[in-house]
Amino acid sequence: MQLAKVVGTVVASQKESSLEGIKLLLVRPVDEEGREIGNHLVAADAVGAGPEEMVLIASGSSARQTRLTDKRPVDAVIMAIVDSWSIGGATKYQK
Amino acid sequence: MQLAKVVGTVVASQKESSLEGIKLLLVRPVDEEGREIGNHLVAADAVGAGPEEMVLIASGSSARQTRLTDKRPVDAVIMAIVDSWSIGGATKYQK
Amino acid sequence: MQLAKVVGTVVASQKESSLEGIKLLLVRPVDEEGREIGNHLVAADAVGAGPEEMVLIASGSSARQTRLTDKRPVDAVIMAIVDSWSIGGATKYQK
Amino acid sequence: MQLAKVVGTVVASQKESSLEGIKLLLVRPVDEEGREIGNHLVAADAVGAGPEEMVLIASGSSARQTRLTDKRPVDAVIMAIVDSWSIGGATKYQK
Amino acid sequence: MQLAKVVGTVVASQKESSLEGIKLLLVRPVDEEGREIGNHLVAADAVGAGPEEMVLIASGSSARQTRLTDKRPVDAVIMAIVDSWSIGGATKYQK
């Protein structure tokens, strides 16, 4: 999974019908210090994440293993909101 | 999922029979400002996207989770046409 | 999917038995102008592609969605021979 | 699979319910000499790995082929703790 | 699939039980001339490959489509030993 930050939202009214009701968020991966790195991606929100929150992203077929995304054409899902992470015993991020 | 722009079309008459009737479009990923980045890819069109439109691409096995692409050898699908996206509350793209 | 060019062949006599009868081709991805880019990969040939032909490659589990590759340990398949592609209305490649 | 080192832990209380009881570890891929390379990722721990241990990571749908992760939205799993590896007959890492 | 060279072995005694009996090899992708490129990865050996042999690697869910790896948490498998490959009619590698 990837640590990422919620940075925005995407609106799409014309879409595959099975996507109705799925909230699409723009996220950007972050490094161990919480700094945004790399390109954004779009993820379905399975946990009610808010703007600027640190989240966990599951990709590929694993993105469909939530009640929200089951059998949907979705290849990335926010499946957790991160409280904190630590490296070598030192807290690097605390919500 | 990836934000991408429809840039062209691909014609292939000799193909796996299950691909009959599937429209293949050339798309290029875009950055948060809508600028084309990286290499093009070819995606099946499940929503009737037109040239220059901003779309959402699902990849991998998730690309087969539409009525059009079910059980087809297709690893990328356009499953939504994007109306707009915003970052930090500011609209970055509006159709 | 990726646009790619058939550049060679691979011979392997000692292999998983389910691979018997599958032709393995070396392909290289091409850019929008048809120039070879990036590293080669090996793909199963589901459509009878010949040397130097431009083809479409499906990867991952989607590579197993052809009669030839079903349930085989194959992660890339040539599932179409490309006749032409165009970008912004201009033909970039014509067979 | 990838050789990686356990470098930290991630805490997430608000999450998809199927993730309850799954320990999430921060890992970093290592090169042949055991040096950390590239970006960290988050993996579910199926084997009770400890801090600084060298482990094997399986990604994608294969990450769900353990009793712990079956049908969970998890795209990376620690499925082995590495005792040693060798290259060209020379031991490069020994626990 | 990827052309790769067997460069070493990995030993892991503490692991997911379904991995018992699976031999794990270190491999490195090679370019068209057979030179090692990029980072190593760890693959399950389904064909009895020996040190320094050129092999084919299947990745992702396709890595589980062998008798050895079926339903195992394995995302890369050696499913063939390469005898030779040629590009543009010229033999680039011969065992």
pLDDT (average), residues C24-46: 97
| Chain B interface mutation, best of A7, A16, A28, highest count of B Cβ atoms under 10 Å | A16
Cα–Cα distance, E26 to E56 (Å, whole number): 13
pLDDT of residue E32: 95
pLDDT in tens, A21-48: 999 999 999 999 999 998 999 999 999 9
* Chain A nearest CA to B12, separation (Å): 24
pLDDT of residue C26: 98
pLDDT band at E86, cuts 50/70/90?
A: very high
Instruction: Report which DSSP code applies to D82.
Output: -
Residues forming a β-bridge with A85: A93, D10
pLDDT (average), residues B10-35: 97
Element (H, E) at D41: strand D41-45
In the Cβ-directed half-sphere of B4, how many Cα atoms lie within 13 Å? 28
Element (H, E) at E63: none
pLDDT in tens, C44-72: 999 999 999 999 999 999 999 999 999 99
Q: Determine whether domain D2-94 maps to CATH 2.40.50.220.
A: yes
User: Across the interface, do E63 and D61 touch by the CB < 8 Å criterion?
Assistant: no
Let me know: does E69 contact E44? Beta carbons within 8 Å: yes
Let me know: does E63 contact E44? Beta carbons within 8 Å: yes
User: Across the interface, do C63 and E59 touch by the CB < 8 Å criterion?
Assistant: no
Let me know: does B21 contact B35? Beta carbons within 8 Å: no
Residue C20 burial by Cβ neighbours in a 10 Å radius (0-12, 13-18, 19+) = exposed
* Chain D nearest CA to A66, separation (Å): 6
Partners of residue B64 in chain C, C-beta under 8 Å? 62, 65
Q: Which chains reach chain E with 3 or more Cβ–Cβ distances below 8 angstroms? A: C, D
Beta strand C84-87 pairing with C90-94:
antiparallel
Cα–Cα distance, E31 to A77 (Å, whole number): 35
Q: Which of D28, D21, D23, D32 is nearest to D6 (CA)?
A: D28
Q: Buried b / exposed e across E33-52, counting CB within 10 Å, b at 16+? A: eeeeeeebbbbbbbbebeee
pLDDT (average), residues A58-75: 97
pLDDT of residue A1: 98
Q: Which chains reach chain D with 3 or more Cβ–Cβ distances below 8 angstroms? A: A, E
pLDDT of residue E62: 97
D38: left (phi over 0), alpha (psi -120 to 50) or beta: left
Q: What are phi and psi of A61, to 5 degrees?
A: -60, -25
The question of ipTM being above 0.90 is answered as yes
Percentage of residues in chain C having pLDDT higher than 90: 99
Let me know: does D12 contact A4? Beta carbons within 8 Å: no
Partners of residue E12 in chain D, C-beta under 8 Å? 56, 80-83
Q: Which chains reach chain A with 3 or more Cβ–Cβ distances below 8 angstroms? A: B, D
pLDDT of residue A43: 98
pLDDT band at C5, cuts 50/70/90?
A: very high
* Chain C nearest CA to B31, separation (Å): 19
Write down the domain spans for chain C.
2-94
pLDDT in tens, E19-64: 999 999 999 999 999 999 989 999 999 999 999 999 999 999 999 9
pLDDT in tens, D14-66: 999 999 999 999 999 999 999 999 899 999 999 999 999 999 999 999 999 99
Q: Which of A76, A17, A23 is nearest to B68 (CA)?
A: A17
pLDDT of residue C15: 97
pLDDT band at D92, cuts 50/70/90?
A: very high
pLDDT of residue E95: 95
pLDDT of residue D58: 98
* Chain B nearest CA to A88, separation (Å): 32
* DSSP calls for C50-88: -TT-EEEEEEGGGGG-STTTTTSS-SEEEEEE--EEEET
